[in-house]
Each structure stands twice: as structure tokens, then as C-alpha cells.
Amino acid sequence: MFKKNIDNLIIIINIIFFSYYAIQLLVFTDEFALNNLGFFNHAVAGLSEIVGIIFVAFVLAYIIIIFRGIEKQLPFIFLIFIFQVLVSLNFWRYVFTNSPGEIDIKTIMINAIIFSLISILNLIFIYRNLKII
């Protein structure tokens, strides 16, 4: 019972994480691009909205996992984990090279930390449930 509660907590944290970014990307596209990228144009808006839609899909999948269980979800959960790690590494690349582009390094570092922490949580989740590591 305790193990299931911890797993559900990790899933709920992921749902909140992806919901926050999805709302930012879909509802506040202009502001999100300006605040996190430093500029805005239609190409950036389109890409932001596509990433937001992907995040909504992740949220829906995690909700389904809560109701249907973790069984046979390895490919999907591992895909999300790899996505989060790659995004984290990309943010950290900007931090370590000190080349934030149009935005300040602090904003990129905050996003790098958030994505890194959620990646670690997902790694724990995978380890606890799938014993692949």
C-alpha cells in the first residue's frame, strides 16, 4: 500500500509538472516564449504549441496509468524519461556554455533544475516498478 502511494505521488507530481508547462505553452505562448526564450515569432509559437500538445498527451497517459496500473507501460514511461533527460541536458548545455541566447541564464538554470529533478523522480519510479536498472 505504501509503495503504491509513493508511485501515485510521483505520477501526480509528473502530471502537475507537465500540466504547468502545457498550460504555459498553449495558453500563454507569447509570454512563455518571451520570458523563457527571450523572443517571439510565429515559428516559435508553433513549436511551443506542439510541445504543449505533447505535454498534454503525457498528462493524459499518466492519468490513464493511475487508473489502469503500471503493467505493460515500460515503453511509454521510458520514452517520457528519455525525453525529460534530453531536455535537461539541453538546458544544462546552455548553462555550462554560458550561452543563454536571448534570455538570462537564471531562467534557463531554473528550467534545467526542474527538468533534472523530474527526471530523477521518473528514474526512481522506473526502478521501483520495472526493475530494469
> Per-residue confidence at 1, pLDDT binned at 50, 70, 90?
low
pLDDT (mean) for 88-110:
85
CA distance 45 to 105: 21
State residue 133's pLDDT score.
46
Domain enclosing residue 101, as ranges: 2-130
What is the domain count for the chain?
Answer: 1
Residue 81 in this model has a pLDDT that exceeds 90? yes
Q: State pTM to two decimals.
A: 0.80
State residue 39's pLDDT score.
62
Closest by Cα among 121, 102, 100 to 111: 100
Percent of the chain surpassing pLDDT 90: 38
Query: What ranges in 27-41 are assigned the alpha helix state H?
Result: 29-36
Residue 63 in this model has a pLDDT that exceeds 90? yes
